[in-house]
Each structure stands twice: as structure tokens, then as C-alpha cells.
């Protein structure tokens, strides 16, 4: 369709895009990845607020409120100090023709849209975080320092949407990355808005009110349908997405959010402890998932998500191998790393994975 002028759309900051995308951060399922020659490319959908849009196909004006936009990021592997990006408008939304190009917008509107895209990328990749300063902190800690050999340019990968992050994080609990990713993909393709771009088809993440209507099991779905087919034909239910017993948690979480028992915009204004206590009330959310949500969904960088691996790593590095509880690990991390806890957790985890430390401390 159309996209921006490549020469202007560029960031100059230290980041390793591929590393950041693929470091297993549980904020959202990974973006689409294509490697072209020496370039790493990532495609992903974001939503932006825009003014009303003139749909040229049916000659009507649509007020979407938010416009889905496909982002296409690329980075030359040999230069981690910059990356470029393009954006693309959809040609179909839920099978409706949707013709938009850059000429639909005034110069000023384009300026607004491109500014929003920039802000969004900056937020998602935490580009305002001062990595150099963090590296000074890191090098002062002899246990932490070796991680830099494996993590140069690694940044936090902040969720596009806090609700998606909450549901994804619930799904990630007691789960493997592979299964968790598949489940989220199925949820999106089952119920998300279908968006067709020149570069491919994407699905949005469903909204909280949609979750309330989802069937939990194939049986439930078949019952509602009068059992017209074999039971395994019923796939539009959460269990069939492979989420297991987390299905009811997801629905309850959505309900709490809709009922304002958990108010997403309030959380942004809370202090960490208050936000932590509130999020813990959501079923399926324990301390580890709560910290993931706060770190990746709400950018509370003082959170120190403590799973079994971080527990083992901290025990090994800082407690002479003596086994400490997940709770103790979390306390230690927050105490020891302060506002850098989230980054320290990220760097330690990736370092252990890449250095072979994980295999060594596996019980």
C-alpha cells in the first residue's frame, strides 16, 4: 500500500532488535521475523489513534477511533546503533475493503501519525532508557558484569497493550514458551479482528468484553450449538486453544477489568506496591506473573519477576549455591538492584541461558 519515506524513519540508539525480540520476555507473543541477507526484519501490528478516515472504496468516511497500522522494523546486524522502520495501512479490515494511502491524509495529519508511530516504537523498545548508565551500574557488580558479553543492546520489550499483557502473562504461568505462544496465536485468529495488509494477514488481540462470551470448553460450545457436529469440530473455545485450566482465569480477569475492580489506567498512576497488591487479586496471577505484568505491561522497572530459573541463578551467584525461595529471590533482587531490578533480571536470565550456566545449575 503505502508507507513512509524510509530515509526519515530511523532511530539512532543502541539496541539489538533481534535479541530484544527473542529473549523470551512474556509481554506478548513474538513478532513476525524475516531475515533478508544481512538484515533482521520484524513485522508487527500496532493501533494508533487517528482522525476520521476517508475510505475511498465505498466513498464513505469511517471513524475508527484507532487505526491498525503494520510496523516493519529492520536493523543491519553489523550496526546496533540504529534501525529503520516503515509503516503500512491495511487494505481490508474484517473482509471489508479498506483503501487508504498516504494521499488520504493532509501533511499535518501525516505528521501527527508519524509522531505517534515514533512514540509507540520508543515505548515498546524502551528507547528512553539509558543503557550506558545501566552498563556502568552493571560493571560495578562482579556477578552481573559478565552478562554484558551476551546482552549488549538488549532492552526491555514493553507490551503494546496492557490487557493483552495481562492475559498473555496468565497464559504463560506454568507453561512453556512454545505452547504459550501457540495459544495466544489461536486466540487471536479465532476472535481477533482480521486485518489484511500487503505484507500479510494479522489478527488483533480480542477485547475484555469478547472474553466474557468465549466458551471455555468444546462441550460448552457444542451444547450451545445443539451438538450438530462431532465434538472435535468445536474449536472456538479457550480449551481448544491449549490454555488448559487457565481458561477460567482469563475470563475472570477480563470480568474484573470490565467491572473496574482492576482499572488499567489507574494502575499506571499507582506506586509499585499498591499495583502489585491489586494485580495479585486476579485469579491465575501470583507473584511471578504479577511482576511480569507490572514490568512488561506497565513499565515498573523495579519489578524482579522470580521464576525457577532466576531463583537458581540468584542462588548460584549470590548465595553460594544455597537454595533460596522464590519469595526471597524477589526480595533480594528488588533490594540489590533497585530501579534496575527489571533490567538485572533480564540480563541475568539471558546471560545464564547463553553462557551455559543454566545447564550447570539445573539441579
Partner DNA sequence: CCGCAGGTTCCGA
Partner DNA sequence: TCGGAACCTGCG
Interface contacts to DNA, rule CB under 7 A: 173-176, 178-179, 182, 239, 242-245, 249, 282-290, 307-309, 325-326, 363
CB 269 within 8 A of CB 251: no
CB of 327 to DNA, least distance (A): 8
Residue 7 burial (C-beta neighbours within 10 Å; 0-12, 13-18, 19+) = exposed
CB of 361 to DNA, least distance (A): 11
CB nearer DNA, residue 85 or residue 180? 180
Cell numbers for 326, please give them. 522464590
Say whether 138 sits in a helix, a strand or coil.
Answer: helix
CB of residue 84 vs DNA: minimum separation in angstroms?
A: 34
CB of 168 to DNA, least distance (A): 13
Please, what is the minimum distance in Å from the beta carbon of residue 26 to DNA? 9
* Cα 171 from Cα 35, distance rounded (Å): 29
Between residues 41 and 239, which has the closer beta carbon with respect to DNA?
239
- CB-facing half-sphere around the CA of 317: CA atoms within 13 A: 25
Do 316 and 276 touch, CB atoms closer than 8 A? no
Contacts of 21 (CB under 8 A, 6+ apart): 30, 31, 33, 42, 157
Identify the sign of the CA torsion 67, 297, 129, 25.
negative
Which grid cell is 181?
A: 505462544
Quick one: 176 or 265, whose CB is closer to DNA? 176
Distance CA 172, CA 166 (A): 10
Residue number, 196 or 216, with CB nearest to DNA: 216
Which CB atom, from 44 or from 307, has the smaller least distance to DNA? Answer: 307
The dihedral through the CA atoms of 291, 292, 296, 301 has a sign that is: positive
What is the spatial distance between Cα 281 and Cα 238, in angstroms, rounded to a whole number? 22
Please identify which residue in the block is written with the cell numbers 523470551.
24
- Quick check: is 281 catalytic? no
Residues serving a catalytic function are 288
Amino acid at each position: 500500500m503505502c508507507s513512509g519515506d524510509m530515509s526519515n524513519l530511523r532511530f539512532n540508539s543502541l539496541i539489538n532488535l533481534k535479541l530484544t525480540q527473542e529473549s523470551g520476555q512474556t509481554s506478548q507473543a513474538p513478532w513476525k521475523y524475516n531475515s533478508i541477507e544481512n538484515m533482521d526484519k520484524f513485522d508487527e501490528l500496532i493501533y494508533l489513534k487517528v482522525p476520521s478516515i476517508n475510505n475511498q472504496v465505498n466513498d464513505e468516511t469511517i471513524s475508527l477511533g484507532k487505526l491498525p497500522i503494520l510496523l516493519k522494523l529492520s536493523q543491519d546486524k553489523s550496526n546496533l546503533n540504529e534501525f529503520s522502520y516503515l509503516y503500512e495501512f491495511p487494505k481490508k479490515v474484517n473482509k471489508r475493503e479498506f483503501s487508504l494511502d498516504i494521499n488520504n491524509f493532509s501533511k499535518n495529519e501525516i505528521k501527527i501519525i508519524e509522531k505517534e508511530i515514533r512514540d509507540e516504537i520508543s515505548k515498546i523498545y524502551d528507547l528512553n532508557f539509558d543503557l550506558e548508565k545501566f552498563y556502568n551500574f552493571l560493571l560495578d557488580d562482579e556477578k552481573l558484569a559478565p552478562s554484558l558479553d551476551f546482552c549488549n543492546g538488549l532492552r526491555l520489550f514493553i507490551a503494546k497493550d496492557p490487557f493483552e499483557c495481562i492475559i498473555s502473562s496468565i497464559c504463560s504461568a506454568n507453561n512453556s514458551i512454545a505452547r504459550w505462544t501457540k495459544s495466544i496465536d489461536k486466540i487471536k485468529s479465532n476472535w481477533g479482528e482480521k486485518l489484511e495488509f500487503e505484507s500479510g494477514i494479522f489478527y488483533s488481540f480480542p477485547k475484555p468484553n469478547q472474553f466474557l462470551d468465549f466458551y471455555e470448553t468444546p462441550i460448552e460450545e457444542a451444547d450451545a450449538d445443539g451438538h450438530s457436529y462431532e465434538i472435535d469440530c468445536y474449536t472456538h473455545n479457550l480449551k481448544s486453544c491449549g490454555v488448559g485450566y487457565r481458561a477460567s482465569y482469563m475470563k475472570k480477569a477480563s470480568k474484573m477489568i470490565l467491572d473496574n475492580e482492576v482499572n488499567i489506567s489507574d494502575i499506571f498512576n499507582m506506586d509499585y506496591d499498591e499495583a502489585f497488591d491489586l494485580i495479585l487479586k486476579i485469579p491465575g496471577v501470583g507473584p511471578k506473573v504479577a511482576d511480569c505484568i507490572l514490568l512488561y505491561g506497565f513499565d515498573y522497572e523495579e519489578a524482579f519477576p522470580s521464576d525457577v530459573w532466576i531463583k537458581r541463578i540468584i542462588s548460584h551467584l549470590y548465595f553460594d549455591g544455597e537454595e533460596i525461595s522464590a519469595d526471597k529471590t524477589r526480595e533480594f533482587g528488588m533490594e540489590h538492584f533497585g530501579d534496575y531490578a527489571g533490567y538485572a533480571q533480564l540480563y541475568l536470565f539471558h546471560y545464564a541461558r547463553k553462557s551455559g550456566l543454566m545447564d550447570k545449575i539445573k539441579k
